[in-house]
């Protein structure tokens, strides 16, 4: 060892440095205040206030007094009980279908060696790439009145209505169900299975006694997500619902069709009830489940049991095939001259001139970019602020931040119309702008983005920030050198999540478009409703391509960050 040559000069702060010190304390306080109040102001202005207005309007009677008059008149409408019943029946059936299929596929992906698992994973990605109504569109091309099947067989099969809606919504919600259930299967520990086997439990007993109880929370959680997204989904209901009216289409026709905002608000409240209840039950259930999995779990190895896996493989691959077939049909139809009569291939469908041509697509791109940028900045600030708050306050922020997941897009959209479609105010000035749609999309997906951010910031070791402080770094330098580098992959993931969801969401933005401002997903709906189904398909393909491109960009960015090798899992764990 070589002695250090320079004489040591311990550096104690000199009295003259006091002013710079106060500056840095002020910087820390300012940083904290800004990162807390700006996101909170956003939540208040673009979420709480609009939502409060919906509640207010639902009680606002024609004579400007407050009361239950609107509720009474909505319930008195002869068709409303039927619509509510329809919604519940449709979502319940969809939930059962998605849970059964979702569990089968998740199990197949996670625990078996059935071949073609990557094809199934790919198939499950497809519904995330496009607006929900693309599934309905594809189903109509295949099974509709003029669908391939009816044409080929001469049958007169009817897909419009409950069953078409159930199939379309199942396809739309299935990937989310699989993801949740798969995550719960992933966390099981093989040691439970080994212990049970040593004690003499059969395959079936181990499945019933270990697998199912462990997956219980995942199944429950998936059920609520499926129920919530399907009861509030607008796209499929509008395209394939036919005469089967559900709450989502009802609220739209009250507001857009009859300009009856108060009635729309009442139906919005109705929609809030099931999602609110689902949200609450899930919260309670997740708290009971808490502490189930352990960090050091050894994953359960895959195996192959013919009696189990041959049926499982058939079900999974049939589902996967169906998902792919529907999307492929849409892509194919986008090149067909006149489905199903003139099946010659053409590029004419891509020459879209009605409904504003491709302008809405570029608007979507702009809106999605804005939503992603605003979202990443505000959410990052919020988790930073939350980190520095005392426990109780942090929990309150957490709860507020995840409330938006319980608010259906349609209700959020309606609330924006009520809040921002008012002339002569500052808030009214935003109406009709892409920026407002961006805000709406961001707050629509606020909760998911927030939860990802929270998970991300938990991997930043507190001691790394403290190292910066002790080495003489200011709070801003701590942010730059300790937090940001580790959070980068999370920020990238949240950015693209918000971007991709904004590109395809329909239910919230449907209320915010104006004659001069529309987005891609709405164009697909309008083209379909105007009878230009192949052009609707072409437009869907364009959206899918853009989203696919974004997804690729995200994967590449994350891979690039990873390849620089500085974000190893071990590093985060050691801390």
Partner 1 sequence: MHLFIQDVSKFFGQFQALHNVSLEVGSEEFVCLLGPSGCGKTTLLRIIAGLEPFDSGTLKIGERDLREIDAQHRGFGIVFQSYSLFPNMTVAENIGYGLKIRKWPRDKVDAKVRDLMELVRFPELAERYPHELSGGQQQRVAIARALAVDPALLLLDEPLSALDARVRAEMRTEIRDVQRRLGIPTIMVTHDQEEALTMADRIVCMKDGRIEQVGTPQDLYARPQTRFVADFVGISNLLDEQTAAQLSSDLLDHKPEDAATQLLALRPEQLGLRPDGDGDARVTHVTFLGNISRITVEWHGQNLVSEVHSDDPFQPGDRVAFEVRPAAGTWVRA
Q: Which residues bind partner 1 (CB under 8 A)?
A: 1-6, 8-13, 17-18, 20-21, 24-25, 461, 463-464, 466-474, 477, 481-482, 485-486, 564-568, 570-571, 574-575
Task: Say if residues 112 and 304 touch (Cβ distance below 8 Å).
Answer: yes
Q: Which is nearer to partner 1, 284 or 575 (CB)?
A: 575
Q: How far is the CB of 571 from partner 1 (least distance, A)?
A: 5
Q: How far is the CB of 557 from partner 1 (least distance, A)?
A: 15
Q: Which is nearer to partner 1, 289 or 474 (CB)?
A: 474
* Spatial CA neighbour of 171 closest among 143, 119, 219, 130: 130
- Burial-class residue 28 by CB neighbours within 10 Å (0-12, 13-18, 19+): middle
User: What is the Cα–Cα distance from 109 to 562, expressed in whole angstroms?
Assistant: 25
Q: How far is the CB of 453 from partner 1 (least distance, A)?
A: 19
Say whether 49 sits in a helix, a strand or coil.
helix
Residue where the block lists tokens 């199934």: 120
Q: How far is the CB of 282 from partner 1 (least distance, A)?
A: 31
Task: Say if residues 188 and 298 touch (Cβ distance below 8 Å).
Answer: no
| DSSP states of 148-199 | HHHHHH------TTHHHHHHHHHHHHHHHHHHHHHHHHHT--HHHHHHHHHT
Q: Which is nearer to partner 1, 199 or 470 (CB)?
A: 470
Q: Which is nearer to partner 1, 342 or 573 (CB)?
A: 573
Q: How far is the CB of 19 from partner 1 (least distance, A)?
A: 11
Q: How far is the CB of 319 from partner 1 (least distance, A)?
A: 40
Residues in the chain: 575
Q: Which is nearer to partner 1, 6 or 344 (CB)?
A: 6
User: What is the Cα–Cα distance from 400 to 402, expressed in whole angstroms?
Assistant: 6
Q: Which is nearer to partner 1, 43 or 486 (CB)?
A: 486
Q: Which is nearer to partner 1, 194 or 571 (CB)?
A: 571
Q: How far is the CB of 293 from partner 1 (least distance, A)?
A: 23
**C-alpha dihedral, 454 to 458 to 462 to 467, nearest 10°:** -100
Q: Which is nearer to partner 1, 18 or 68 (CB)?
A: 18
Task: Say if residues 264 and 60 touch (Cβ distance below 8 Å).
Answer: no
User: What is the Cα–Cα distance from 540 to 525, expressed in whole angstroms?
Assistant: 10
Q: How far is the CB of 33 from partner 1 (least distance, A)?
A: 18
**Residues ≥6 apart with Cβ < 8 Å to 165:** 90, 136, 236, 237, 240, 241, 244, 246
User: What is the Cα–Cα distance from 567 to 365, expressed in whole angstroms?
Assistant: 30
């Amino acid at each position: 060892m070589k002695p250090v040559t320079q004489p040591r000069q311990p550096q104690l702060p000199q009295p003259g440095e006091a002013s710079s010190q106060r500056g840095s304390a002020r910087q820390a306080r300012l940083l904290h205040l800004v990162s807390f109040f700006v996101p909170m102001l956003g939540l208040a202005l673009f979420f709480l206030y609009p939502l409060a207005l919906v509640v207010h309007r639902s009680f606002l009677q024609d004579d400007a007094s407050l009361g239950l008059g609107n509720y009474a008149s909505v319930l008195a409408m002869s068709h409303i009980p039927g619509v509510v019943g329809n919604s519940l029946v449709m979502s319940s059936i969809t939930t059962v279908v998605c849970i059964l299929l979702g569990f089968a596929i998740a199990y197949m992906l996670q625990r078996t060696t059935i071949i073609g698992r990557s094809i199934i994973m790919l198939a499950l990605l497809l519904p995330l790439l496009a607006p929900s109504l693309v599934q309905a569109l594809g189903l109509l091309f295949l099974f509709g009145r003029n669908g391939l099947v009816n044409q080929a067989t001469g049958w007169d099969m009817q897909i419009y209505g409950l069953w078409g809606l159930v199939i379309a919504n199942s396809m739309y919600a299935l990937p989310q169900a699989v993801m949740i259930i798969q995550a719960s299967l992933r966390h099981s520990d093989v040691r439970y299975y080994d212990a049970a086997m040593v004690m003499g439990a059969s395959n079936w007993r181990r499945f019933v006694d270990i697998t199912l109880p462990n997956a219980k929370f995942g199944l429950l959680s998936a059920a609520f997500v499926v129920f919530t997204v399907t009861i509030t989904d607008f796209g499929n209901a509008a395209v394939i619902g036919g005469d089967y009216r559900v709450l989502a289409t009802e609220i739209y026709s009250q507001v857009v069709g009859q300009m009856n905002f108060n009635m729309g608000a009442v139906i919005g409240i109705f929609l809030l009830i099931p999602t609110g209840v689902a949200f609450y039950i899930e919260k309670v259930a997740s708290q009971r489940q808490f502490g189930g999995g352990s960090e050091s779990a050894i994953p359960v190895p895959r195996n192959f049991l013919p009696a189990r896996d041959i049926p499982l493989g058939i079900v999974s691959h049939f589902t996967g095939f169906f998902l792919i077939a529907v999307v492929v049909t849409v892509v194919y139809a986008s090149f067909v001259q006149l489905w199903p009569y003139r099946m010659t291939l053409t590029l004419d469908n891509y020459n879209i001139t009605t409904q504003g041509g491709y302008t809405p697509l570029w608007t979507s791109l702009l809106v999605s970019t804005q939503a992603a940028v605003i979202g990443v900045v505000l959410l990052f600030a919020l988790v930073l602020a939350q980190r520095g708050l005392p426990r109780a306050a942090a929990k309150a922020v957490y709860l507020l931040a995840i409330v938006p997941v319980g608010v259906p897009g349609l209700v959020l959209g309606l609330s924006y119309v009520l809040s921002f479609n008012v002339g002569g105010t500052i808030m009214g000035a935003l109406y009709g702008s892409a920026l407002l749609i961006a805000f709406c999309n961001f707050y629509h997906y606020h909760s998911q983005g927030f939860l990802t951010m929270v998970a991300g910031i938990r991997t930043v070791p507190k001691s790394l920030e403290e190292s910066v402080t002790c080495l003489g770094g200011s709070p801003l330098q701590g942010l730059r050198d300790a937090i940001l580098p580790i959070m980068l992959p999370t920020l990238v993931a949240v950015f693209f999540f918000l971007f991709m969801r904004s590109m395809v969401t329909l239910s919230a933005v449907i209320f915010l478009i104006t004659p001069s401002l529309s987005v891609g997903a709405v164009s697909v709906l309008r083209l379909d409703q105007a009878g230009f189904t192949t052009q609707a398909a072409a437009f869907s393909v364009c959206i899918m391509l853009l989203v696919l491109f974004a997804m690729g960009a995200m994967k590449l960015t994350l891979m690039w960050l990873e390849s620089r090798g500085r974000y190893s899992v071990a590093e985060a764990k050691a801390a």
